[in-house]
Amino acid sequence: MYQLVVSDLDGTLLTPDHVIGGYTKSILEQWVEKGCHFVFASGRHHLDVFGIREYLGLPAYVISANGARVHDPDGNLVLGHDVPGDIIERVLAKVWDDKSLTVHLFQDTGWLSSRKNEDIEKYHRISGFGYSLFHHATLKSENIAKLSLTHPDHQYLVQYEQILSPMLEGVANVMFSSPFCLEVTAPKATKGDALEVVTAKLGIAREQTLAFGDAMNDKEMLEYAGKGLIMATAQERLKQCLHRHEVIGSCADEAVANYIAAYL
């Protein structure tokens, strides 16, 4: 029945320690050996996800930066959406002087961060992917797939969501990928739009897709899939928006793998 599984990473496929569980690795290998497809769909940089893909050894498409980039199993760029430079500058003008925020930018060549953040580094144990520091004054606002703001207080970021959403309405997407990460992408850069491109490339109907996610940046993907599954620990806003969607277990229990196993 289902021919393709697409999954978010953090809070979904990865354990709470941001690694791939042994059971999950085994199930994904069996899924692909069966002749079915697996697709990564993450807010992470594509080079970061490539490292995870290499660790798993799967010939998978990669949807990254919330759908701003799609790469095929050979690493070729299939789809790319950049945030216009004037939008980047408008956002930086609003946030740069707030030193309690960390600003992140994804360019094709790497990940830029406004300051060192050891807490974020724990997310990249598998891939070893890292960032370079940047300053607004010397930044070239081009070839940017995504801008992110991180802060340890969710409600603090909600204030910025309330500022940026109306300011960028119609010209950019503003969404939470986690309670502590607010992100800005181009209007067509969603995981749902990216998944539509991948399924068309593979000749797979949307009804034949299973999708797993836990955050608002997964919403369009979960809506597009034949069946979209929400993690137990997902953002409450996502559960409310997609209240008819099935809620499964948590990433700590490797719930994605448990669900896929029923179709092996």
Q: Cβ atoms within 10 A of the Cβ of 192, count?
A: 20
Name the catalytic one among 8, 10, 193, 218.
8
3-class DSSP assignment, residue 154: helix
Euclidean distance between CA atoms 49 and 52, whole angstroms: 5
Share of the chain above pLDDT 70, in %: 97
Q: Cβ atoms within 10 A of the Cβ of 219, count?
A: 22
pLDDT band at 116 (very low <50, low <70, confident <90, very high): confident
pLDDT of residue 160: 98
Q: pLDDT by residue (tens digit) across 63-91? A: 999 999 999 999 999 999 999 999 999 99
Boundaries of every domain in the chain: 4-80+189-261, 85-185
28, 58 contact by CB (below 8 A): yes
41, 191 contact by CB (below 8 A): yes
Task: Name 203's Cβ contacts closer than 8 Å, sequence gap at least 6.
Answer: none
pLDDT, mean over the chain: 95
pLDDT of residue 124: 67
pLDDT of residue 123 exceeding 70: no
Q: Looking at the structure, give the CATH architecture of the domain made up of residues 85-185.
A: 2-Layer Sandwich (3.30)
Provide the CA 132 distance to its chain's centre, in angstroms: 20
> Which tokens in the block code for residue 219?
């919403």
pLDDT band at 127 (very low <50, low <70, confident <90, very high): low
The dihedral over CA atoms of 29, 30, 32, 38, expressed in degrees to the nearest 10, equals -70
The candidate with the shortest Cα–Cα distance to 71, out of 110, 114, 36, 40, is 40
CA distances 78 to 71, 73, 156, 201, 223, Å, are 5, 10, 36, 9, 22
Task: Name 159's Cβ contacts closer than 8 Å, sequence gap at least 6.
Answer: none
8 is catalytic: yes
pLDDT band at 100 (very low <50, low <70, confident <90, very high): very high
Q: For every residue of 81-123, which 3-state class applies, written as one string? A: CCCCHHHHHHHHHHHCCCCCCEEEEEECCEEEECCCCHHHHHH
Q: Looking at the structure, give the CATH architecture of the domain made up of residues 4-80+189-261.
A: 3-Layer(aba) Sandwich (3.40)
Dihedral-angle region of residue 11 (phi above 0 means left; psi in -120 to 50 means alpha; beta otherwise): left
